[in-house]
Amino acid sequence: MSENQTHAIHLESAEKFWEMIAEWVVLVDFHAERCGPCKMVWPVLEEIAEEYAWRAKVVKVDVDSLGEISEQFWVRSIPTVIVFKNWEATWDPMVGAYPKEQYGDVLNSLLEDTSE
């Protein structure tokens, strides 16, 4: 999938991952194509990506193709969502499915911290 087909970004390189977390508040979905629960979470995260498009980014990291990133953050189960700000993981990993509002609450709390 390309960025033109979705509001979220499907990362294809570790370099792009590091660029993203340096510049944005980023909600990262660690997933795999083979994962049924991951496919159930994705529509919710796509809605978040659309709603927060100009304030934060939602990215997908496939643990099968970018395993070095998931290993660095101790991702052991999927789906796992980790939110980053200023290079750092800001919340405990969210493993499994959560309501849309909970993802939004996490992003809102971090975005409020960035206002001057």
Residue positions annotated with a catalytic role = 35, 38
- How far apart CA 75 and CA 59 sit, in angstroms, is 15
Q: Which helix (H) or strand (E) holds 58?
A: strand 57-62
**Spatial distance between the Cα atoms of 63 and 55, rounded to a whole number of angstroms:** 26
d(CA 101, CA 26): 16
